[in-house]
Amino acid sequence: MAEGFDADAMIERFRERAAGVKRRNLPPVAGEERRHFLEQAQLDFQDFAMIGDAEASMEDGILRLSIDLRPPEAR
């Protein structure tokens, strides 16, 4: 399974997904539905952006993603 797998390409797809969430149009919803849509968009962006910022390595067929969650000033 790991043979031919491109972790960098996968990470790039997640970067594109994060950007896509930012470009996503708000559907014509109001009230509770609007709040839920906005919350889900924020979670989608956060998840996609975190993986998009990951550094990948393949060790013995195991994909490892390293994500530094420290604030920039602590790095």
DSSP string, 22-42: HHPPPPS--HHHHHHHHHHHH
What integer pLDDT is reported at residue 12 of this predicted model?
97
Q: How far apart are CA 60 and CA 39, in angstroms?
A: 38
Residue 63 pLDDT exceeds 90 = yes
Residue 4 pLDDT exceeds 90 = no
Tokens of 50: 């975190």
Backbone angles phi, psi at 63, to 5 degrees: -80, 125
| pTM of the predicted model as reported, rounded to 2 decimal places | 0.80
Tens-place pLDDT, residues 13-54? 999 999 999 999 988 989 999 999 999 999 999 999 999 999
Higher pLDDT, 56 or 27: 56
